[in-house]
Structure 1
Amino acid sequence: MNAMSPWSIDPGCPASCVAEPEPRVPLAELARRYAALTYTLTRATARGGRLADPGTLRGEARAVLGALGVGFEAGAPERLSASGHPGTGTLVVANHISWLDVIALLAVEPVSVLAKREVGRWPVIGPLARRVGTHFIDRDGSPRHLPRRVAELAEVLRGGTSVLVFPQATTWCSEAGGRFRRAVFQTAADAGAPVRPVTVAYRQGGAASTAAAFLGEEDFTASLRRVAAARALTVGVTAHAPLWGTDRRTLAAAARRAVTRAADSATAAA
């Protein structure tokens, strides 16, 4: 990967940080969850363009979580986009732990997603991502392409569409891992759009869990099996107060503080 690229990424946590879920569900329950997930994804695919309808997409996202046996907890406020600011969308920035993050966030409020281009080539997930308006980027592109990409995303925000971005650019085993890349915050500054920091956290049996983490070169099938096998796995989504500003360095630092502060509070309370 080009070390000079603004989209270059940190190595993230090693795969050894992922723990097998304890306790696990019986094999019969695991089979039932796989069957439920297959049915849910088949139904979502059959919806075609209707999947982009916000209510439909939110319902299907929650159905995927339910099929996998993942509990869902949404903290106040109940929206990802910042209300009371008509005319622009919201740049939603969240920590990144798992492929499951996107599903959990869409279960709160369907927004457009900025994703690496490889996601568009994943079976089943890729076609579904394109149908719901995902914006794909090449993370290893040349720095000279950055102004154009920032301008394109700023235009999306100006048009009133909220966009979900993971500024860590790679997955980590916990909420506090990784720095926030500043480049994407320039889009909110240019568009005059609010930034909404969001914390995504996974717990099992009331304790922090890495069972959902998708790290390193792990195979997606192995990660899916681990998630489906986990008993009492829950995902929490907490949206924090919106941020405004014109300096991307300040916005990035403030967003990361909001996300990690919530993570630290949850750990202390456990």
Structure 2
Amino acid sequence: MNGTTALSPWLPTAPCTPGHCAAHPESGHRRRSAEADPAGAVRAVGRLIAGLGTVILGLLLAPPAGLLPAATRLTLVRYWMRAVVRAFGVHVRYEGAAAPAGGPLLVVANHVSWLDIPLIAAVLPGRTVAKSEVRRWPVLGTLAALGGTLFIDREGIMALPGTVRTMAGVLAGGGRVVVFPEGSTWCGRERGRFRPAAFQAALDAGCAVQPVRIDYRPTDAAAYVGADPLGSSLWRVVSIRRLTAVVRLGEPLPGALYPDRRALAAAAQRAVASDSANLPSLSVHQRSRSRSASASSARTPA
């Protein structure tokens, strides 16, 4: 569900693994202390119950909410996603301004965790592009399907043009599409190259691109990489005493200003990485790039 042992050569890969990234020693001592603290365990269980309960409550209310006007539904989605993230114990800070509502928009962001999706939906709800395996995830898969997720087959490169056409159709109809162009999750200390395919949809639809940067502190608590089980990631998130997410909304990039999808993808990547000087100077990947591709993360396609 979280990765494969024989990835297709065209798929994006990252050197991030749970052992090197999600359990990085910079916060291992804090995590061990929390696990040995009964009060910390009670707090973690409470957060887990609250988070899953908030998700399930939203699922139960989804059918009647579908009868409401579109603008009202989007407002409810934003409040619901904020409630979900907060229930899991995540403190969130948004910086910058989102593009005006009411028009087509391709939202692109770096990819660190499953938390990225509700964080973006809390401010820029739209149809997220995700791998088909997500549909089979317990609870969260149903949530994704109800949210209009565009599921694609990562193993089928021949399906990619059709996916781009579907995205362009949503955008041309005035909708919003959210995609993670790195194609897989990275731990946050280092990022992958933005794949250009999704940006063709923005060019075809004549819409702008909204770059979004997501940072977590501590980074390793949120990282959902490699073959990390979803349950382990959930427990790591609720167990940390304080997990903070900073979501930076960059200036929208008018697609018409760029000659092709590669130029637009490069501009979006520069916008997302514009404050990379604030990252730690020594990346975990400078010590582990020899890891095999089979251990790489394989999350969300682009």
C-alpha separation between the residues in 1 aligned to 2:278 and 2:211?
15
Tell me how far apart the structure 2 counterparts of residues 104 and 142 of structure 1 sit (CA, whole Å): 29
Could you tell me which residue of structure 1 aligns to residue 212 of structure 2? Answer: 198
Contact 2:40 2:241 in 1 (8 A): no
Aligned to 1:55: 75
Alignment of 1:110-259 (within 5 A): 110-143=125-158, 145-174=159-188, 176-204=190-218, 209-243=219-253, 244=255, 245-259=258-272
Aligned to 1:189, the other structure's residue is in SS state helix
TM-score after normalising by structure 1: 0.88
Q: Deviations over 1:141-184 (max 9, x none)?
A: 133x3332222211110111111000001000116411111111
Asked if residue 33 in structure 1 is aligned to residue 47 in structure 2, the reply is: yes
Aligned residues: 255
Which segments of 5 or more consecutive residues in structure 2 lack a partner in the other structure? 1-6, 282-302
For the aligned residue pairs, the C-alpha RMSD in angstroms reads 2.0
Give, in angstroms, the shift of residue 266 of structure 1: 5.9
2:100 equivalent to 1:83 = yes
Could you tell me which residue of structure 2 aligns to residue 11 of structure 1?
14
Counterpart residue type for residue 132 of structure 1: G
1:64 maps to what in 2?
Answer: 84
Distance 1:176 1:264 in 2: 11
**Residue 94 (structure 2) aligned to one of 71, 74, 94:** 74
Structure 2 CA distance, aligned partners of 1:83 and 1:59? 18
Q: Is the 8 A contact 2:127 2:178 kept in 1?
A: yes
C-alpha contact 1:90 1:157 (8 A) present in aligned 2: yes
Normalising to structure 2: TM-score of the pair? 0.79
Amino acid across the alignment from 1:70: V
Which residue does 1:107 correspond to in 2?
Answer: 122
8 Å CA contact retained: 2:112, 2:188: yes
Q: What SS does the aligned partner of 1:99 have?
A: coil
8 Å contact kept, 1:30–1:229:
yes
The answer (yes or no) to whether the contact 1:201–1:263 under 8 Å persists in 2 is: no
Letter in 2 for 1:237: V
CA displacement at 1:64 relative to structure 2: 1.2
Q: Which moved more, 1:232-241 or 1:12-21?
A: 12-21
Residue 222 of structure 1 aligns with an amino acid whose one-letter code is S
Give the fraction of aligned pairs with identical amino acids, expressed as a percent: 40
CA contact (8 A) 2:17 2:227 kept: no
Greater mean deviation of Cα atoms: 111-120 or 10-19: 10-19
Return the alpha-carbon distance in structure 1 between the equivalents of residues 169 and 259 of structure 2. Answer: 16
